[in-house]
């Protein structure tokens, strides 16, 4: 069982869900002067980029299979959204509902 006590004088620990390349995490670290202690990202090439910059932060993988009681607790939790529909380059669809099946297709 991990230590669940919060740090008294240390930087805030951040957990990252749907981490992508880590842009949000970098911003959170700069804003909080904290450190990212774990991520959850399924896309392996993207996770490899993240791991290059945060080699000590393990990738917990699929969010639905994480045993939350077994991971290091965090003070900050950040996460991205599946951004494929939010991209404005390429086909420039933006947040148009249903442009990629299963991702934001129910947004109206």
Q: Where are the domains of the chain?
A: 13-79
Assigned CATH topology for domain 13-79: Rossmann fold (3.40.50)
- Count Cβ atoms within 10 A of the Cβ of residue 41 and give its class: 0-12 exposed, 13-18 middle, 19 or more buried: buried
Least confident of 16-20, 38-42, 58-62, 103-107: 103-107
Contacts of 14 (CB under 8 A, 6+ apart): 25, 28, 29, 32, 34, 35, 36, 37, 74, 75, 76, 77, 78
Could you give the C-alpha distances from 49 to 19, 33, 44, 55, in angstroms and in order? 11, 21, 9, 10
pLDDT of 31 reads 92
Task: Pick 107 or 42 by higher pLDDT.
Answer: 42
- The pLDDT-based confidence of 103 (bands split at 50, 70, 90) is very low
pLDDT of 77 reads 92
Measured in whole angstroms, the distance separating CA 50 from the mean position of its chain's CA atoms is 10
Model-wide pTM > 0.85? no
Rounded-to-10 torsion of CA 63, 66, 71, 72: 10
């Amino acid at each position: 069982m991990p230590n669940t006590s919060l740090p008294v004088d240390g930087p805030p620990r951040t957990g990252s869900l749907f981490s992508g390349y880590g842009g949000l995490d970098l911003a959170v670290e700069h804003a909080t002067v904290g450190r990212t202690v774990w991520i959850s990202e399924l896309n392996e090439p993207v996770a490899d980029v993240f791991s290059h910059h945060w080699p000590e932060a393990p990738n917990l993988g699929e969010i639905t299979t994480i045993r939350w009681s077994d991971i290091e607790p965090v003070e900050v939790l950040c996460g991205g959204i599946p951004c494929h529909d939010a991209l404005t380059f390429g086909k420039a669809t933006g947040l148009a509902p249903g442009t990629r099946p299963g991702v934001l297709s129910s947004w109206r």
